[in-house]
Structure 1
Amino acid sequence: MASLPTIAILISGSGSNLQALIDATQSGKLRANIVVVGSNRKAAYGLERANKAGIPTRTFSLKQFKDQGKTRVDFDIYVAKTIQEEYKPDLVVLAGFMHILSPEFLSFFPQNNVMNLHPALPGQFDGAHAIERAYDAFKKGDIQHTGVMVHKVIADVDRGQVILQRNIPIEKDDTLEDLEKRIHSVEHEIIVEGAQKFLDELTASE
């Protein structure tokens, strides 16, 4: 039997999307092994989730690099090199990784096998605070709905090739918290489906 493809996951926070991926690999819904969870914040609760699931973890401190007089690009190269050389993942998933990746990071993954989850539709609300910005736009009457996508990562933020996307309604009585909950529940599904689709396409192209 062929071994399962491998995934490295990068996080910065509580890791609820990471948990969705862990649960999916354990249930067999996502046919892959998570080989490492990395974080740029050592207090990220997602690291606890990984430890509970028996998945190796790594932390990477940008501050440490800057304190040594090194640059953000030096940091990116170190993170990418560590992930690629030590774990050789078939897919790298950014699951709430709050750090914009440089072209130098991406150069370590020439197969373009880095995937990101973003709580907006393609071309809308790129970058940070996408949910709040969509909510404000809805209140002004500029949009009727928002969405979630998973996409390949390129140097332009949130502009890579879309793997999957889904529209999400905004109701007129919604609070921001209502919209956040609705989006997060869809994120937990689409990150799993997107990872599987990405791996299926990878296998098909070999």
Structure 2
Amino acid sequence: MATPIRTTVLISGNGSNLQALIDQIAAGNLNANIIRVLSNRKDAFGLERARKANIPTQYHNLVKYKKQQPATPEGVQAAREKYDAELARLILADQPELVVCLGFMHILSPQFLEPLELAKVRIINLHPALPGAFNGVNAIERAHAAWMEGKIDKTGVMIHDVISEVDMGTPILVREIPFRKGEDENIEVFEKRVHEIEWGTVIEGVSLVLNELAQKST
């Protein structure tokens, strides 16, 4: 069997998608080795999931960088750039071949993306919307509101390549989710269904990329 693809996962929250990956790797269904899970939130439960699976973890937060800069738009921008440059350095120290963003609530700038591109590390992201529809944060809530207003009848989830424009990288896998009248009016019911679809999409999307990377290395 081919050498497992060295994979770093970036998270900010509960880590249910990370758990789906861990489980599928353990079951021998994905040819990957998660070498580190990194979070920008200290209390992200996903870090606990990683520790239980004996995966090294790291906490890397923006606040420290903001404190070193003046509280101006320029200062915030400088802090983000320094944070991103350090994030790239931390990740590249592990020599991954793939970085998977699973609910990582931080917009990655060229200071992060360019070093990884130079090192030929693929970066992919899970986003709970259709391509070009609800870029950025709160995509599920915004799609739900648009449906309630009668503007759309479906949303979706996708795995896409990461570029500096938020959620605008080339889609790798897209799953449409039609809204269901009489059920999805309750946003909690709808969110639960979206998250369940995400788990399958993550596995399928990551699997496609792992196969691609494995072919390139042969």
TM-score range, shorter chain: over 0.9
Aligned residue in 1 for 2:140: 131
Q: Within the alignment, does 1:197 sit opposite 2:205 as a pair?
A: no
Residues 137 and 112 of structure 1, relative CA distance in 2, 3 Å threshold: farther
Instruction: Map residues 1-206 of structure 1 onto 2, 5 A cutoff.
Output: 2-69=2-69, 71-85=79-93, 87-110=94-117, 111=120, 113-173=122-182, 174=184, 175-206=186-217
TM-score by length of structure 1 reads 0.96
Instruction: Report how many residues are paired.
Output: 205
Distance 2:47 2:165 in 1: 28
**Is the 8 Å Cα contact of residues 8 and 96 (structure 2) preserved in structure 1?**
yes
TM-score, with normalisation over the residues of structure 2? 0.91
Letter in 1 for 2:65: F
Q: Give the alignment's Cα RMSD to 1 decimal.
A: 1.2
Runs in 1 of length 4+ with deviation above 4 angstroms?
none
Q: Secondary structure at the match of 1:34?
A: strand
Tell me the secondary structure at the aligned position of residue 7 of structure 1.
strand
Asked whether the 8 Å contact 2:3–2:31 carries over to 1, the reply is no
Residue 75 of structure 2 is matched in structure 1 by none
Q: Secondary structure at the match of 1:71?
A: helix
Amino acid of the structure 1 residue aligned with 2:57 = T
Once the two structures are TM-superposed, the CA of residue 30 in structure 1 deviates from its matched residue by 1.4
Distance 1:35 1:10 in 2: 11
Alpha-carbon distance between aligned partners in 1 of 2:48 and 2:216, rounded to the nearest angstrom? 35
Post-superposition Cα deviations, 1:19-63, rounded to whole Å, max 9, x if no partner, equal 111111111121111000000011111100000000000000211
Once the two structures are overlaid, the 10-residue window that deviates more, 170-179 or 31-40, is 170-179
Q: CA deviation at 1:187?
A: 0.5
Identity of aligned residues (%): 50
Distance 1:142 1:112, change over 3 A: farther
Q: Which sits farther off after the overlay, 96-105 or 132-141?
A: 132-141
Question: Runs of 5+ in structure 1 lacking a partner?
Answer: none
CA gap of 1:112–1:54, structure 2 versus 1, over 3 A, is: closer
Could you report, residue by residue, the CA deviation over 1:81-140 in whole angstroms, capped at 9, with x for unpaired residues?
A: 11012x111110000100000011001211361000000000101001111111111111
Distance 1:16 1:33 in 2: 18
Give the AA of the match of 1:197: L
The answer to whether the 8 A contact 1:106-1:112 is kept is no
Shift, 1:198, TM fit: 0.8
Specify the SS of the correspondent of 2:115: coil
1:23 maps to amino acid: D
